[in-house]
Amino acid sequence: MRICVFLGSKPGKRPEYREQAKHLAKHLASLDIGLVYGGASIGLMGEVAKTAMDAGGEVIGVIPHRLADYEIAAEFITELKFVDTLEEREKLMFELSDGFIALPGGIGTLEEFFTVYTWNILKYHDKPLGLLNTCGYYDKLLEFFDFQREEGFIPRGWLESVIVDRSVETLVDAIRLRFEISQI
């Protein structure tokens, strides 16, 4: 199994973001779950990749040529794949992954998460999706989802397709369970 992790190319202000990224990387490696991510060596992206590699995990990065210098492509991982566009990056990360977890990050993190979330809602896939809600990072987004539902733009079932937790172990267990159920 491989899980794609969407997270910031910046470290964020709170040390807990870095700690949770590293904890997730170690936990995935301990379960022999491969890590797919955006291929950078900086910010939270770099932390998760370095930590997973140090823990003996498989790490596959996917990065557009145009971002390779800006995000400093991670040459130290199991496999680094170069693509031409962001769309190709998302498609390849999707194809390489059995599930997805978003950690704190910026617009790119949200865009990647919303892409696979939209594909899930529209039944293009049934791969599990999760938000690691470190320090309540996604609380306001979840409130907005509730507002969208209240305003009649999204049905309740759409909100239930995303697993949200503050615990790495609980979130990964839930992702694994949904993956196993989808394989039956």
- CB atoms near residue 6 (< 10 Å): 29
Amino acid, single-letter form, for residue 149: R
User: Residue 69: its pLDDT value, please?
Assistant: 86
User: Residue 115: its pLDDT value, please?
Assistant: 96
Strand order in the sheet with 34-37: 79-83, 59-64, 34-37, 2-6, 99-102, 129-132, 162-165
3-state SS of 65-79 is HHHCCCCCECCCCCE
Blockwise average pLDDT, block size 10, the chain, 184 residues: 97 97 98 97 96 98 91 92 96 97 97 95 93 97 93 85 96 93 80
Burial class (CB in 10 A: 0-12, 13-18, 19+), 65: exposed
User: Residue 159: its pLDDT value, please?
Assistant: 78
**How far is residue 22 from each of residues 7, 39, 48, 68, 83, measured CA to CA in Å?**
12, 16, 5, 22, 26
User: Residue 155: its pLDDT value, please?
Assistant: 82
User: Residue 181: its pLDDT value, please?
Assistant: 82
Q: Where are the domains of the chain?
A: 2-182
User: Residue 157: its pLDDT value, please?
Assistant: 79
Tokens 């939209």 belong to residue: 118
User: Residue 72: its pLDDT value, please?
Assistant: 86
- Name the token pair of 23: 């904890």
Q: Return the CATH architecture of domain 2-182.
A: 3-Layer(aba) Sandwich (3.40)
